[in-house]
Amino acid sequence: MGQSYYKHDGNRIFPFRIVHDVEPNMEIFMRESRRTLRPLFLPIAIVLISVVVSSCTTVPQYGPQNGALVIVGGGRVGEDVWGRFLELAGGASEARLIVVPTAGGREEYDEERVVSTWRERGVEQVKMLHTIDPTVANTEEFVKDLREATGVWFNGGRQWRLTDAYLNTLTYQEFHNVLSRDGVIGGSSAGATIQGSYLARGAPEGNQIMISPGHEESFGFLKNSAIDQHIDTRGRWTDLYEVITTYPELLGIGISEGTAVVVMGDLFEVIGPGKVAIHDARRTFAYGDTVHYSVLEPGDWFDIVSRQKIEMPEY
């Protein structure tokens, strides 16, 4: 199987697929072989190509095998970020969205207010999903609309409320199934942190506590990661240091307000106006003796496996 990716020419998004761990020249070979080989030899060529692809294909180590993630650092979200999420969900006219406001802390919400942001952007098929009761979240009736969704958006608030309501329920499984269907998961602030595997700032007692036993497991859409938000406006540039030194296998990603990382497989792109801090316990960067982070700028691409900035992929 290939992995869905999206490439931009500055105005539009183009979907394309690549084979994991296959160099670009292999992609060219596959395309040119199909075009130039004579029909007599085509069946043999297809078999040979299939063998090569099967031997090279791997499951992403961090990101989703299908679909994409849009992880926003809180604050005011720009139209570039809203637009990218909608494109990944199928476009405003075709998207079937689910909005989850649970992190906000209310027992009940007005659905029209919750979905109004998306209605204003031309989305007609959008519904709210909310409960604070995991028993409800574990029912077939509750997830019926989620099973048809092409995109899920998590609003901000406190991330522990999301895990208390949904972790390891049927709803949690269906969130992951949205990605399996090539859909998109997005969210801002608490809706960003929940997408990692480690729940940074998960303490109900306060959001200044980085590690909270009993509230450390997150939804894991981006595996082996801890995600922080509001790093620029709240002075959180180094806060993930505590998490990644305690759990050095994790990649720490701190995101500025209005800024997003768009994850596709094991790569992500930075979009929006701000910067992203990468925390890696494997390296010491030139920002101090005890601070393990580097900075990505808008437009940068990052390889999560090698943990290095890369040039924009060309396929």
Report residue 33's pLDDT band, with 50, 70 and 90 as the boundaries.
very low
Are 226 and 78 contained in the same domain?
A: yes
Q: Is residue 63 part of a domain?
A: no
Q: Same domain, yes or no, for 136 and 33?
A: no
Q: What is the pLDDT of residues 123-163, one digit of tens each?
A: 999 999 999 999 999 999 999 999 999 999 999 999 999 99
Question: Do residues 255 and 237 lie in contact, with contact meaning Cβ atoms separated by under 8 Å?
Answer: no
Mean pLDDT of the chain: 85
Residue 290 has pLDDT above 90, yes or no: no
pLDDT at position 37 over 90: no
Whether residue 240 lies inside any domain: the answer is: yes
134's CB contacts (< 8 A; 6+ apart) are 164, 165, 166, 167, 169
In a domain, 155, yes or no: yes
Which residues are paired to 72 by β-bridges?
Answer: 188, 260
Tell me the average pLDDT across 31-40.
Answer: 43
pLDDT bin (cut points 50, 70, 90) of residue 168 is very high
Asked if the model's pLDDT at residue 310 lies above 80, the reply is yes
User: Mean pLDDT throughout 85-99?
Assistant: 98
Note the pLDDT of residue 238.
Answer: 93
Token pair 């050095």 in the structure block, residue: 248
Q: Please answer whether residues 284 and 292 qualify as being in contact, where contact means their C-beta atoms are separated by less than 8 angstroms.
A: yes
Is there a single domain that holds both residue 10 and residue 132?
no
14-18, 95-99, 166-170, 304-308, range with the lowest pLDDT: 14-18
**Which residue, of 33, 56, 79, is where some domain finishes?**
56
Say yes or no: 36 and 132 in one domain.
no
Each residue's pLDDT tens digit, 110-122: 999 999 999 999 9
Asked if residue 61 belongs to a domain, the reply is no
Residues 75 and 20 reside in one and the same domain = no
Strand locations in 35-163 (E) = 68-72, 96-100, 125-128, 151-154
The residue among 41 and 22 whose pLDDT is bigger is 41
Best CA proximity match to 280, nearest among 312, 259, 298, 254: 254
Residue with tokens 């209605």: 119
pLDDT tens for each residue of 51-64: 333 334 578 999 99
Cα–Cα distance, 293 to 281 (Å, whole number): 9
State residue 198's pLDDT score: 98
In a shared domain, residues 75 and 49: no
For residues 145 and 47, state if they share a domain.
no
Tell me if 62 is assigned to some domain. Answer: no
Whether pLDDT at 49 is above 60: no
Same domain, 143 and 279: yes
Range of the domain at 250: 68-310
Asked if residue 130 and residue 51 are part of one domain, the reply reads no
Q: Which of 237, 222, 224, 161 is nearest to 192 (CA)?
A: 222
CA 301 remoteness from chain centre: 14
| Residue 43 belongs to a domain | yes
Question: pTM for this one?
Answer: 0.82
CATH number at residue 150: 3.40.50.880
Q: Does 150 share its domain with 275? A: yes
The answer to whether residues 140 and 8 belong to one domain is no
How many structural domains compose the chain? Answer: 2
**Same domain? 43 vs 72:** no
Query: Which segment of 24-33, 64-73, 304-313 scores lowest on mean pLDDT?
Result: 24-33
pLDDT attached to residue 58: 76
Helices and strands (DSSP H and E) totals, the chain = 10, 16
* Residues ≥6 apart with Cβ < 8 Å to 282: 248, 307
Residue 315 domain flag: no
Q: What is the mean pLDDT of residues 166-173?
A: 98
